[in-house]
Amino acid sequence: MEIDVTHLLQQKAQTAAIAKGVSLTSWLAHLVVNVLRHHPLLNARFDGDGLILYETVNLGLAVATAEGLVVPVLHGAERLSLDELGSQLDALAKTARAGKLSVAQISSGTFTISNLGMFGVSHFTPLVNPPQSAILGIGAAHPVITLTETGLQQMQYITFTVAADHRVVDGAAVAQFLGDLRQSIARLSLIP
């Protein structure tokens, strides 16, 4: 789904001076964690006998390192403020790149985000990180000229792609998740 992130990028720019370490990925992770609370099938797994729905969001973040891709996990992400989430994700990514992650820091993930936008990738299909039921791929922001009530405006859009384990969740539920994420991002335009 292509989502207008113009106001999100403005919010990020405004908070960057105040809260260092609050990146676009941090903002998106914070919004995703909040939306996941209303979509438990995307924060679940199939264990062979049935579904396990998690009460907490242990957010995995795909990180490229010199040795390859690793997915450090931020446990209990739903309990963190935007600033806390941003600083902890940043610390986990640095630890991952240094090759010093503990087993606990790569275990028990319930949902993963993979952001290739920083590499200029416009959209891609991420692979589900078993035994999780879903993963969100985030592409690069790109300008789109849009007709608004006040005329033509340049807006910024990002393509979000969810890959899901269909033993747990189907395409309609994924579409609802993406629609709710779009609404959550749109609500940022109401913040002064």
pLDDT tens for 155-170 read 999 999 999 999 999 9
Q: What is the pLDDT of residue 20?
A: 67
The string of pLDDT tens digits covering residues 50-75 is 899 999 999 999 999 999 999 999 99
Residues annotated as catalytic (active site), given as ranges? 166, 170
Quote the CA–CA distance of 109 and 16 in Å, as a whole number. Answer: 28
Residues β-bridged to residue 9: none
> Domains, the chain, ranges and CATH?
2-190 (3.30.559.10)
Give ∠ CA 25-117-132 in degrees, rounded to 5: 65
Alpha helices in the chain (DSSP H): 6-16, 24-36, 82-97, 171-187
- In a 13 Å sphere around the CA of 10, the CA atoms on its Cβ side amount to 14
Quote the CA–CA distance of 183 and 86 in Å, as a whole number. Answer: 21
Q: What is the pLDDT of residue 59?
A: 98
The string of pLDDT tens digits covering residues 7-30 is 999 988 887 767 666 889 999 999
The string of pLDDT tens digits covering residues 105-137 is 999 999 999 999 999 999 999 999 999 999 999
Mean pLDDT of 31-39: 97
